[in-house]
C-alpha cells in the first residue's frame, strides 16, 4: 500500500506569502496613518486649549479694567486714582515686545480688587533665549506707583509683584489688540509705554483722553503648534488686525500648524453708555423729564 504525503505546493506557499506581506503592509500603513492623525489632533487640541484659556483670562481683565472699589483708598499716594496707569494701555510697534513678525502688541490693564488693593496686569511677548520663538508673558503688580504730580516719587517701586515673568502661553506668533469706540471706530493711540510711532500721534497725552473712549477691544491671538504636524511644508497666511494695528502676515512654508483666535470684549468700566431721554433728547442725568 502506497502512503501519500500531504503538504503545500510551491505555488500555494508563494500565494500565502504574498497575502501575508500585503496584510502586514496594510496594517503598518494604517498604524502609521492613525499615529500621524493622533499627533496632528493632539497638537491642534493643545493649541485650541491654550488659546481658550488665554482669551478667557485677557477678556476677564479687559472687562475689569478701569474699575475702582467704591471705598478705595491707599496711603501711599492719592494720585493713584488719576495716574497715567488708571485704565488701559495698548502698546503697538515697540521693539522689545513686537514679536516674531515685528508688529505684535502689548497690553496693560489696571483695576481695584479691594478697598486697599489695586492691581496692574501686563501682557506682552518675550523671546526665548537662543531661539526665534516667542511666548506670551504675564506680569502682575499690586498697588503700583509710578511718576505722578503729587509727591509720590519718580518711578518708585513700592508694590508687590506676586506674578513675574509667567509663561502664559508658548509659541505665540502674533497678538493684536484693537481698541474701538461705541461707534466701532478705532481709537488710537491708547498707550502707557508708547512707541515712537504712537508718540508722533499724540503719545500719552492723547492716550489719556482716548482711554475713556474705549468701548470694546478686539483680540487676535495667533498660536503655533509646538511640534511639526504636516508631512510637507506649506505656506501660511495669518489674517488679523487692521491698520494701524497689525496687518496680514505671509509665513514662509514649514510643517507647523497655526491658527488665529478672535474675541471682542466690552470694556464695561471705560466708555459707558449714556441713556437718552425720549422727551427732551438730553441725557438722563440732565433731563428734567426723567422719572417724573
CA distance 177 to 92: 9
Q: Please name the residue that has the C-alpha cell 493713584.
A: 80
CA distance 247 to 162: 35
Whether residue 40 contacts residue 229, with contact meaning beta carbons closer than 8 Å, is answered with: yes
Q: Please name the residue that has the C-alpha cell 509646538.
A: 226
Q: What is the pLDDT of residue 84?
A: 43
CA distance 65 to 87: 6
Q: What is the pLDDT of residue 72?
A: 66
Tens digits of pLDDT across the chain (292 residues):
555 666 677 777 787 888 888 888 777 776 666 666 656 777 788 888 888 999 999 999 999 998 877 776 654 455 455 554 468 999 887 888 888 888 899 999 988 888 778 888 999 999 998 888 999 999 888 877 554 444 444 334 445 556 566 778 899 999 999 999 999 999 999 988 888 888 888 888 898 889 989 999 999 999 999 888 888 999 999 888 776 677 788 999 999 999 999 999 999 888 765 544 444 444 434 333 333 3
Cell of 220: 487676535
CA distance 288 to 276: 12
Specify whether the backbone of 66 is left (phi greater than 0), alpha (psi in -120 to 50) or beta: left
CA distance 84 to 210: 12
Nearest alpha-carbon partner for 242 in 68, 51, 61, 105: 105
Nearest alpha-carbon partner for 219 in 251, 175, 172, 160: 175
pTM value is 0.75
Go through 229-238 and write b for each residue having 16 or more CB atoms within 10 A of its CB, e for each that does not.
Answer: beeeeeebeb
How many Cα atoms are found within 13 Å in the side-chain-facing hemisphere of 201?
Answer: 17
Q: Domain segments of the chain: what residues?
A: 37-266
Cell of 91: 502698546
Q: What is the pLDDT of residue 20?
A: 81
First-to-last alpha carbon distance for the chain, in angstroms, is: 125
Amino acid at each position: 500500500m502506497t502512503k501519500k504525503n500531504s503538504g503545500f505546493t510551491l505555488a500555494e506557499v508563494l500565494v500565502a506569502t504574498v497575502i501575508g506581506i500585503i496584510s502586514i503592509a496594510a496594517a503598518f500603513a494604517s498604524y502609521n496613518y492613525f499615529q500621524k492623525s493622533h499627533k496632528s489632533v493632539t497638537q491642534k487640541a493643545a493649541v485650541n486649549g491654550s488659546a481658550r484659556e488665554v482669551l478667557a483670562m485677557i477678556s476677564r481683565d479687559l472687562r475689569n479694567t478701569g474699575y475702582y472699589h467704591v471705598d478705595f483708598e491707599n496711603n501711599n499716594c492719592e494720585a493713584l486714582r488719576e495716574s497715567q496707569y488708571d485704565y488701559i494701555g495698548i502698546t503697538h510697534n515697540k521693539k522689545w515686545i513686537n514679536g516674531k513678525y515685528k508688529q505684535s502688541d502689548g497690553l496693560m490693564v489696571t483695576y481695584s480688587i479691594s478697598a486697599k488693593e489695586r492691581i496692574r496686569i501686563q501682557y506682552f511677548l518675550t523671546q526665548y533665549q537662543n531661539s526665534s520663538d516667542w511666548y506670551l508673558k504675564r506680569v502682575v503688580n499690586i498697588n503700583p506707583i509710578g511718576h505722578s504730580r503729587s509727591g509720590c516719587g519718580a518711578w518708585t517701586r513700592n508694590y508687590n509683584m506676586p506674578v513675574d515673568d509667567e509663561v502664559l502661553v508658548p509659541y505665540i506668533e502674533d497678538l493684536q489688540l484693537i481698541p474701538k469706540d461705541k461707534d466701532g471706530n478705532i481709537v488710537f493711540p491708547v498707550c502707557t509705554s508708547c512707541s515712537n510711532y504712537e508718540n508722533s500721534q499724540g503719545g500719552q497725552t492723547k492716550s489719556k483722553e482716548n482711554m475713556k473712549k474705549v468701548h470694546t477691544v478686539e483680540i487676535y491671538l495667533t498660536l503655533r503648534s509646538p511640534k511639526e504636524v504636516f508631512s510637507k511644508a506649506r505656506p501660511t497666511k495669518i489674517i488679523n488686525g487692521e491698520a494701524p494695528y497689525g496687518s496680514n502676515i505671509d509665513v514662509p512654508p514649514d510643517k507647523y500648524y497655526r491658527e488665529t483666535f478672535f474675541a471682542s470684549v466690552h470694556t464695561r468700566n471705560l466708555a459707558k453708555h449714556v441713556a437718552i431721554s425720549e422727551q427732551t433728547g438730553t441725557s438722563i442725568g440732565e433731563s428734567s423729564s426723567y422719572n417724573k
